[in-house]
């Protein structure tokens, strides 16, 4: 994806999509969310759109809300 879209647009595409990537959940299991792309968006807000920042914040703030999961 990075080759196709470049880094920042690829991150935005992943964060804005409604799909929660398996890696995000795995990082939570390992207590390593600081390495998630959502956290990267939060750390560097000036590099991303407001929509991407809002989506990243939402995911990080609601990761344990089982009602928001498709499976």
Residue 54: which pLDDT band, with cuts at 50, 70 and 90? very high
pLDDT for 13-53, tens place per residue? 999 987 778 888 899 999 999 999 999 999 999 999 999 99
- Does the pLDDT value for residue 71 go beyond 60? no
Q: What is the pLDDT of residue 30?
A: 96
* Selected residue with higher pLDDT from 1 and 62: 62
Which of these, 41, 22, 50, 30, lies nearest to 60 by C-alpha position? 41
Report yes or no: 54 and 46 within 8 Å, Cβ to Cβ. no
pLDDT in the model for residue 70? 59
DSSP 3-state of 61: helix
pTM (two decimals): 0.82
Instruction: Give the start-to-end residue ranges of the domains of the chain.
Output: 2-63
DSSP assignment letter at 23? H
């Amino acid at each position: 994806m990075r080759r196709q879209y470049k880094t920042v647009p690829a991150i935005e595409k992943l964060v804005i999509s409604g799909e929660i990537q398996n890696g995000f959940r795995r990082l939570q299991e390992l207590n390593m969310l600081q390495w998630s792309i959502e956290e990267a968006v939060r750390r560097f807000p000036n590099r991303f759109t407001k929509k991407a920042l809002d989506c990243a914040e939402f995911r990080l703030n609601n990761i344990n809300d089982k009602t928001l999961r498709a499976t």
